[in-house]
Amino acid sequence: MIRRRRGLWMATLALWLGVGLPGAARAEVCVSDDAGREVCLDAPARRIVALSPGVTELLFAAGAGERLVGAVSFSDYPPAARALPRVGSYDRLDLEALLALTPDLVVAWAGGNPREQVDRLAALGLPVFFSDAGDFAAIASSLERLGVLAGSEAAGRAAATRLRGEVAELRARYADAAAVPVFYQVWEQPLMTVNGEHWISRALALCGGDNPFAGEAPLVPRIGVEAVLARDPEVIVTGGMGKADSSWLEAWRAFPELTAVRRDNLFVVDPDLVQRATPRLVQGTRALCAHLETARERR
């Protein structure tokens, strides 16, 4: 009995002093980020700043929403994200505002944040996790790793498992679907689309979509109207300036010779559901798949 009480007393003292007992599990958590760097924290993060709207969504989905203390502009999902203090925009960070929040973890967007500003944060000693999810598998992995860093492992694993299941269901459903040549318009002026490595193109491929610009070198290439006319897509899809904006599609009606125009296969999707690499991409993919099914019926 004395030995048991002494053991409990030593464990309590160790916790109070913040030291570990021989053989006890360490509180340090480590994961690899999407830049191939190992990110280690002495303990799960309690004050996190997200540097893109997509990263903000990922953290909430991984169960870390209560530990978010700051985000960039346009971080609007879930609704709770709108109340977070702002630290500039994804392409121009307000470092003074960010540092004032005293974060113990910064989650950066590898493909969008100014690298020199993010490197400065790292130089100041702030742990930085680079997020750059490019497909469903990477999104699921991000949920798990962010959950580890935020101390919400169970929520992160559950979200990742749910996402993988939903993607597997879509893949099985459209495995034998006939291919549909589809042009996805990211922007109007300059005219921009996605290449085959972009998650939007991969989502389309899941539905049987064939991206005629898959082989372009930039992830989001600039193209000319003539290039679209030459490839004559069967479907044109865009998010426009918002989920109810079809003005970009109307401009294509000036080219009645396009198969997409002739068959009225001009479709709008909610850009927030496809232009952010988050679990909501599944909803966007379902919408894309439904549009391609409509196109098949019009053949």
199: nearest Cα among 157, 244, 163: 163
Residues 164-223 pLDDT 10s: 999 999 999 999 999 999 999 999 999 999 999 999 999 999 999 999 999 998 999 999
237: nearest Cα among 174, 294, 298: 294
pLDDT at 17 over 90: no
Q: What is the residue whose two structure tokens read 């085959």?
A: 196
Choice between 291 and 23, residue whose per-residue pLDDT is larger: 291
Give the pLDDT band (50/70/90) at residue 20: very low
29: nearest Cα among 155, 133, 127: 127
Average pLDDT estimate for 124-133:
95
pLDDT at 157 over 50: yes
Q: Provide the pLDDT for residue 152.
A: 98
Q: In what order do the strands lie in the sheet with 48-50?
A: 68-71, 48-50, 105-109, 128-131
Q: Provide the pLDDT for residue 246.
A: 79
Most distant pair of Cα atoms in the chain: their distance = 90
Q: Provide the pLDDT for residue 34.
A: 95
Q: Provide the pLDDT for residue 242.
A: 67
Give the pLDDT band (50/70/90) at residue 25: very low
270: nearest Cα among 258, 262, 282: 282
- Numbered ranges of CATH 3.40.50.1980 in the chain: 27-166, 176-297
pLDDT at 5 over 50: no
Q: Strand, helix or coil at 269? A: coil
- Strand-pair partners of 185: 238
Choice between 278 and 7, residue whose per-residue pLDDT is larger: 278
Residues 31-73 pLDDT 10s: 999 999 999 999 999 999 999 999 999 999 999 999 999 999 9
Q: Provide the pLDDT for residue 62.
A: 98
Q: Strand, helix or coil at 72? A: coil
Q: Provide the pLDDT for residue 145.
A: 98
Average pLDDT estimate for 81-93:
97
284: nearest Cα among 194, 206, 172: 206
Give the pLDDT band (50/70/90) at residue 224: very high
Query: Which two tokens mark 161?
Result: 């498992």
Residues 238-287 pLDDT 10s: 988 766 677 899 999 999 999 999 999 999 999 999 999 999 999 999 99
The CATH superfamily holding the domain 27-166 is Nitrogenase molybdenum iron protein domain (3.40.50.1980)
Q: Provide the pLDDT for residue 244.
A: 62
Give the pLDDT band (50/70/90) at residue 24: very low
Helix (H) or strand (E) holding 146: helix 136-150
Neighbours of 63 (CB within 10 A): 21
Q: Which CATH number fits domain 176-297: 1.20.1290.10, 3.40.50.300, 3.60.15.10, 3.40.50.1980?
A: 3.40.50.1980
Average pLDDT estimate for 78-97:
97
CA 147 vs CA 9, 105, 122, 191: distances in Å? 32, 13, 21, 38
pLDDT at 89 over 90: yes
Strands (E), 142-216: 180-185, 209-210
pLDDT at 12 over 50: no
Query: Which two tokens mark 21?
Result: 């007992």
